[in-house]
Amino acid sequence: MKRVVLSIFTILLLIQPHESAAMSYEQERQIATEFISWLDSRDLIIYNKEITWTLQTLTDQLADQIKEPVYNYKVYLVRDRSVNAFAIPDGHIFINLGTLLFVKDINELASIIGHEMGHCQLRHIPESFATQNKINIAKVVGILAGTLLSSKNPEIGSALIFSSLGGSESFRLKYSRVHEREADEFSTNILPSAGFDPSGMARFLIRLRTYTSTPDAPEYLLTHPYIQKRIAYVQKDAASPKPEKKFWSLYASVSALLLSEGEAIVRIKELPQPYNRLALGILKVRFSHPREGLTLLNGIEMPQAYAWKGIALYSIGEKEKAIPYLKRYNLSLEANLALADIMEEKGQIDKAINTLLPFERRYPRVAYKIGILYQKSGRVCLAHVAFARYFYYTKNYEASLYHIDKALLCNNKLERELQDEMRAIKKIIKSNKS
């Protein structure tokens, strides 16, 4: 994560607001675009739709309760095992993988998303720029120190991040505590109307208090209030977790798709049926035991189970039998790759391409496959775009630059959006090499 932090500093230094002027929406978009592109170049965002779809539906459910939303909220899953979440300008919310493994029900997860949404909707980050003249090197060092500490103690680390962006020492600490309180209150207020139990926030904070232990730093050095005080002003009974179908399905997907085989098996034991069998079946298929996976998945009436049953059938050569199962769940990358392969064998090149288009960005395997398919269909310019992405994702920058230049030679044969994407990737590659 150290490199990620350095990127944040680079982006922030590019934005030098005028004195007493909050960040503009255009500046927010610039920061967000460059930050997310940089994270992508380090493979630090997980784009697995079988997991992120649930996160985004929760985010949309909460956003629907805001009368005048400032942003179109987007949530991302970060490849980091610490328990943390954060927001950046332009309404982008980031949830660490460690947080998904830590929460005990959907209500807790919704409360975290709601809290970060509060920071966005109340424009805490842009407004913090209005309290300072410009970001200098000393403040950047403060952000670095805070972010590095956050991996060990999220409460102290986040405090230092916020304090580095404030005004005078005494004012900025108090101001950030107000931000945290406002974000908690925002989350608590929209949770019930979105159908969530607001006690999830207090329950999560109580467990986080135990997880982080008592911080050594006195409270006046913290921008976040101590967690027990945050629990007090949330003013909701912590109650007990209420895991339900959506939570068990999410936990099963995270365990089976993102963890090592050994850790996944341990975590899957916590799941009730049929989610235990679902997760174990997916895990078996994922680690090249398709027949065992097929046995476990048989009889489970869930779209995700159908998809992985299709993947298992495809893996053992039963491709015709696999087709109806592969078509029943459009969120699975593996299912769509298998289906596209079958279509390619049948000579259905355009159908194969359309099957993969929802996954054409962010996924190296899809980028390469689409490049081959575009070549077969004679669409050379689009093939160069796909191969440029593939080599960029796999960090073969020289090869990526070759295909970028070839794609840009197409001029009016290539859509403007794709030309802009190629130029943006080229800029990032040159920046990484310098």
Tell me the per-residue pLDDT of 245-296, one tens digit each, with 9 for 90 and over: 999 999 999 999 999 999 999 999 999 999 999 999 999 999 999 999 999 9
Q: Is 289 exposed, middle or buried (0-12, 13-18, 19+ CB in 10 A)?
A: middle
pLDDT for residue 48: 95
**Structural domains of the chain, count:** 3
Give the separation between CA 245 and CA 239, rounded to whole angstroms.
19
Give the separation between CA 116 and CA 280, rounded to whole angstroms.
33
Residue 222 is classified by DSSP as: -
Q: Is 8 contained in some domain?
A: yes
Give the separation between CA 88 and CA 74, rounded to whole angstroms.
11
pLDDT for residue 432: 74
- 177, 199, 234 - which closes a domain: 234
DSSP labels, 247-300: HHHHHHHHHHHHS-HHHHHHHHTTPPTTHHHHHHHHHHHHTT-HHHHHHHHTT-
User: Residues 108, 187: one domain?
Assistant: yes
Give the separation between CA 200 and CA 112, rounded to whole angstroms.
9
User: Residues 162, 262: one domain?
Assistant: no
Instruction: Give, for 158, the enclosing helix (H) or strand (E).
Output: helix 154-164
pLDDT for residue 314: 98
User: Residues 384, 406: one domain?
Assistant: yes
pLDDT for residue 2: 41
Q: pLDDT tens track of the chain, all 434 residues?
A: 444 434 443 334 444 444 445 667 787 787 777 777 767 777 889 999 999 999 999 999 999 999 889 999 999 999 888 888 888 888 999 998 999 999 999 999 999 999 999 988 888 776 665 554 454 333 433 343 344 344 444 443 343 333 333 333 333 444 467 777 888 888 889 999 999 998 888 888 888 777 655 444 444 334 455 556 666 655 556 678 999 999 999 999 999 999 999 999 999 999 999 999 999 999 999 999 999 999 999 999 999 999 999 999 999 999 999 999 999 999 999 999 999 999 999 999 999 999 999 998 889 999 999 999 999 999 999 999 999 999 998 999 999 999 999 999 997 889 999 999 999 899 888 877 76
Q: Is 241 contained in some domain?
A: no
Q: Is 268 contained in some domain?
A: yes
pLDDT for residue 243: 94
- 333, 354, 375 - which closes a domain: 354
This prediction has a pTM of 0.82
User: Residues 25, 161: one domain?
Assistant: yes
User: Residues 420, 276: one domain?
Assistant: no
Helix (H, G, I), strand (E, B) or coil at 318: coil
Q: Is 240 contained in some domain?
A: no
Supply the CATH number for residue 258's domain. 1.25.40.10
User: Residues 20, 72: one domain?
Assistant: yes
Q: Is 243 contained in some domain?
A: no
DSSP labels, 95-121: EEHHHHHH--SHHHHHHHHHHHHHHHH
> How far are the Cα atoms of 172, 355, 360 from residue 221, in angstroms, in the given order?
11, 53, 46
pLDDT for residue 149: 40
pLDDT for residue 426: 93
Give the separation between CA 401 and CA 388, rounded to whole angstroms.
7
User: Residues 420, 321: one domain?
Assistant: no
Q: Is 321 contained in some domain?
A: yes
- Expressed as residue numbers, the domain containing 410 is 360-434
pLDDT for residue 21: 53
Helical packing angle, 380-393 and 397-408, nearest 10°: 160
For the stretch 332-378, pLDDT in tens is 999 999 999 999 999 999 999 999 999 988 899 999 999 999 999 99
Q: Is 349 contained in some domain?
A: yes
User: Residues 44, 62: one domain?
Assistant: yes
User: Residues 374, 322: one domain?
Assistant: no
- 328, 354, 380 - which closes a domain: 354
User: Residues 174, 293: one domain?
Assistant: no
Structure tokens at 252: 């099963």
User: Residues 25, 112: one domain?
Assistant: yes
User: Residues 367, 335: one domain?
Assistant: no
pLDDT for residue 97: 93
pLDDT for residue 126: 66
Q: Is 297 contained in some domain?
A: yes
